[in-house]
Chain A
Amino acid sequence: MTAGAPGGAIGTAPAVPPSRGPFAVPARIRSGWYQRSRQERLALRLLLPVFGLVFVAATIPFVLAVVQALTSDDGRFIGADNFGRALSNDQLFEAIRQTAIYGSVVLPTEILLGLGLALLVHRTVKSRVLRAVIYVAAMIPIVIPQVAVGVVFRLLYIPDYGLINVLLGQTGNSQILWLSSPPLAIFAVASVDIWQWTPFVYLIMFAGLQTVPPESVEAAQLDGATSWTQFRHIELFYLRPLLLLVFFFRLADVLRVFDHVYILTGGGPGTTTQFLSLYLYRIAFRFSDLGQASALAVLVMAFMIVLYTVISRFLPADTSS
């Protein structure tokens, strides 16, 4: 099923599909007003019922969250009380700060490492078989359920049983406590993210490098360009939109990171790894404070909408018109 997709185009599509222009309509259909409107009516008749249903189904939770945030448990309207409580809790800002720290560790590392690896492989590994092996290996962490990832890294980091300390010859009272000291705990949790998602960046960057026209690279090499200038002046140009895309996708993931942290540290030590989503979980399900939790959810969603509006301007193709 991987060989020669029907239609022939999938395998050789450019990394970024060209924008289809304002009217993505075959020329034949576009001609003639009567036919076009009939076709369009058909399109709408097919599209609207299904899309409408889905749109409503996906939007109800937002509405419910807002309603829940504005009312008390017994259904009275209480205005912005829940929002006030949510925003007056110092721990919220701590959670935001810790999330920011986490993001600023994880995002640059993953992107630089992924990009570096892609360049290394692109330039040194020419064997098709080896490239395929790396490709498949890089896919593994992406498809692994988060729960399994949490399990593996617990096995590596936990005091006394943890393999890393044993390999480092650290045992007993003097061992390194990966999950205990605040900077190390952030590092431990971040290392999981980096382990899991650097390959994702790698795969995208590697795919992007394949779209660089070999002629321009050869021309530059004839002109005596070093590897660095070759990267800076040619390859980076082709990779830039992909870098942006990767950055935004990973940013969104950082804001929703939950599973592996919950399993690895549960937010500890103290509140060091209590990131935004873990904080929300704590308010909703440990404190059973659905009102405040809903207010927080609304705030997070509002933030994401703003972020998305900004992001979508930069995303390639089709997403902005």
Chain B
Amino acid sequence: MTRIATRLLTWLALAIAFVVFVFPLYYLVVTSLKTHAELFQAVPTLFPRQPTLASYSSLLFDQGFAQLLLNSIVVGISATALALVIAFAICYPITRLPVRPRMRSFVLNWALSLRFLPPIAVVIPYFLIVRTIGLYNQIPALVIVYTIFNLPLSIWMLKGFLEQIPAEVEEAALVDGGTRFQAFRLVLLPLASTGILAAGIIVFAFDWAEFLFAFILTATPDSMTFPVGVQGLVTQFEIIWNDMAAGGVIAILIPLVLMLFARRYVIAGLTFGVIREK
């Protein structure tokens, strides 16, 4: 009897936790579907009376957020690619070749320590650099900053993935008379590709969501990213909730879809590969 009661309570607790947790997301979606008139009612509604996609089209096309979306994608892809290439160049020697342990631990330690750096502390120096080299309000500035910021994560994830690949497979290729480059290109790279892709998705999601640097380093839609645009919908005299909510939904959708592909590696990514999942 008590067992059943306990089980019931447990399920109830889980159900409540789930509802509390999903509700904000639900409300975001609902708000994005409301009409402008419905927003100005004294009492907000839980379900849209006349659901409409108007705020999505208004946001993307009338207000030109499509350009910001494109910027976010360009910045995200370039910075991700750059971070992965550099991280690979660093991880390959420290995982596949005999590097002194002190060297190896220095590189990894240094990378992890960057994770503990508050971005607000370096945004000023980065602003000074960017304005000195004349890259203010230009996409490459964001690409460079994002690359540096996501490098530690990329290094740790790739290191984790590369370590998993037994040295023997590469050695077999070497024994068969291949060069090290061939072993790298024909054996290691294909084996590591899944991990690289997963790391890429996670890094991309971080680039995608970044707000502070984009906020400080951009000024016009030529380089502004999507999150900066969404934040900009708050005006002094009115706050356009449905447009903001639509922006929020779009901002969630892309990383969410990507993450579903890489779901096995998300925790590895967030904990720098220190924790890997079953």
Task: Say whether A145 contacts B227, CB under 8 Å.
Answer: yes
Task: Say whether B251 contacts A144, CB under 8 Å.
Answer: yes
- Given the known interface contacts A204-B271, A301-B117, A320-B105, the answer about A139 and B90 at a Cβ–Cβ threshold of 8 Å is no
Q: Is A184 an interface residue (CB 8 A)?
A: no
Q: Is B134 an interface residue (CB 8 A)?
A: no
A25 and B171 CA atoms in complex are apart in Å by: 12
Q: Which single member of A54, A65, A140, A148 contacts B121 (CB below 8 Å)?
A: A65
Please, which residues of chain B bring their CB within 8 A of the CB of A207? Answer: 267, 275-278
Task: Say whether A321 contacts B97, CB under 8 Å.
Answer: no
Please, which residues of chain A bring their CB within 8 A of the CB of B110? Answer: 55
Task: Say whether B148 contacts A151, CB under 8 Å.
Answer: no
Please, which residues of chain A bring their CB within 8 A of the CB of B262? Answer: 1-2
Instruction: Give 1 or 0 for each of B262-276: 1 = CB within 8 Å of chain A CB.
Output: 111011001100111
Please, which residues of chain A bring their CB within 8 A of the CB of B275? Answer: 15-16, 204, 207-208, 242, 245
Please, which residues of chain A bring their CB within 8 A of the CB of B120? Answer: 256, 258, 277, 280-281, 297
- Given the known interface contacts A10-B161, A61-B129, A147-B251, the answer about A139 and B266 at a Cβ–Cβ threshold of 8 Å is yes
Tell me the interface secondary structure of chain A in the complex: helix
Which single residue of chain A is at the shortest CB-CB distance from B211?
A: A259
A188 and B249 CA atoms in complex are apart in Å by: 22
Interface residues of A (CB under 8 A from B): 1-2, 5-7, 9-17, 20, 22-26, 28-30, 36, 39-40, 42-44, 46-47, 50-51, 54-55, 57-58, 60-62, 64-65, 68, 117, 120-121, 123-125, 134-137, 139-148, 150-156, 160-163, 166, 171, 195, 199-200, 203-204, 207-208, 210-211, 242, 245, 249, 252, 255-256, 258-259, 263, 276-277, 280-281, 284-285, 290, 293-294, 296-297, 300-301, 304-305, 307-308, 311-312, 315-321
Please, which residues of chain A bring their CB within 8 A of the CB of B101? Answer: 22-24, 321
Please, which residues of chain A bring their CB within 8 A of the CB of B140? Answer: none
Task: Say whether B28 contacts A24, CB under 8 Å.
Answer: no
Task: Say whether B276 contacts A147, CB under 8 Å.
Answer: no
- Number of residues in B with C-beta < 8 Å to the partner? 114
Please, which residues of chain A bring their CB within 8 A of the CB of B107? Answer: 47, 51
Task: Say whether B194 contacts A1, CB under 8 Å.
Answer: yes
Q: Is B177 an interface residue (CB 8 A)?
A: no
- Given the known interface contacts A1-B262, A15-B276, A151-B248, the answer about A312 and B164 at a Cβ–Cβ threshold of 8 Å is no
- Given the known interface contacts A15-B276, A65-B121, the answer about A58 and B261 at a Cβ–Cβ threshold of 8 Å is no
Interface residues of B (CB under 8 A from A): 7, 10-11, 13-14, 17-18, 21-22, 24-25, 27-28, 31, 39, 42-44, 46, 86, 89-90, 92-95, 97-105, 107-110, 112-126, 128-129, 144, 148, 151, 160-161, 163-169, 171, 180, 190-195, 197-198, 205, 208-209, 211-212, 216, 227, 230-231, 234, 239, 241, 244-245, 247-249, 251-252, 255-256, 259-264, 266-267, 270-271, 274-278
